[in-house]
């Protein structure tokens, strides 16, 4: 099937992008320390860059945690040893998360439109680029839920033990 393959490819791209963001943030932070303490000449852009990279890292990490079902959760239902109840509760959670993601994805476009012409303080990039990270997260979580429903959960990794 082509759609699951495309979805898996998109997930790998998002994961690779997340790794690149972490590497870039680390480099920006190390560069700031080196320039500040070794050259006594702090960089003007590295702190802002690291902050914005961290925002995107947070959003994409939220999606990654959702993908692996690693978010903090109340698991009292699982102690009842009733698989049907667990599945029903998991589906209710998915419906609520999907509704929230779709709604906030839509609302975030208003914020993106308002901030597209607002430059950041130092880097002077449109702030909408920073806020677009939320839309990326909401879209990825929504697609994970929808494709999980359409393809019987076959796109989901097995839950982590422990």
The model's pLDDT over 103-146, given as tens digits with 9 standing for 90+, comes to 999 999 999 999 999 999 999 999 999 999 999 999 999 999 99
The model's pLDDT over 9-57, given as tens digits with 9 standing for 90+, comes to 999 999 999 999 999 999 999 999 999 999 999 999 999 999 999 999 9
Task: Determine the pLDDT at residue 139.
Answer: 98
Task: Determine the pLDDT at residue 14.
Answer: 98
Task: Determine the pLDDT at residue 161.
Answer: 54
Angstrom distances, CA of residue 130 to CA of 44, 70, 76, 139: 18, 25, 37, 15
Segment 92-104 shows an average pLDDT of 96
Angstrom distances, CA of residue 38 to CA of 33, 42, 46: 8, 9, 15
Whether 82 has a pLDDT exceeding 90, the answer reads no
| 59/114 Cα distance (integer angstroms) | 20
Radius of gyration of the chain, Cα coordinates, nearest whole angstrom:
19
Task: Determine the pLDDT at residue 157.
Answer: 53
Angstrom distances, CA of residue 112 to CA of 58, 60, 152: 18, 18, 34
- What the block records as the tokens of 86 is 């667990």
């Amino acid at each position: 099937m082509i759609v699951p393959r495309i979805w898996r490819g998109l997930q790998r791209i998002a994961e690779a992008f997340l790794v690149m963001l972490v590497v870039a943030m680390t480099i920006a932070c190390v560069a700031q320390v080196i320039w500040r303490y070794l050259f006594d000449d702090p960089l003007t852009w590295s702190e802002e860059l690291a902050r914005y990279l961290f925002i995107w890292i947070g959003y994409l990490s939220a999606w990654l945690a959702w993908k692996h079902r690693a978010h903090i959760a109340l698991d009292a239902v699982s102690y009842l040893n009733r698989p049907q109840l667990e599945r029903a509760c998991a589906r209710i959670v998915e419906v609520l998360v999907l509704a929230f993601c779709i709604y906030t994805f839509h609302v975030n476009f208003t914020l993106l439109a308002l901030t597209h012409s607002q430059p950041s303080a130092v880097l002077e990039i449109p702030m909408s680029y920073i806020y677009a990270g939320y839309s990326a997260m909401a879209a990825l979580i929504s697609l994970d839920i929808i494709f999980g429903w359409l393809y019987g959960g076959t796109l989901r990794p097995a839950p982590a033990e422990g």
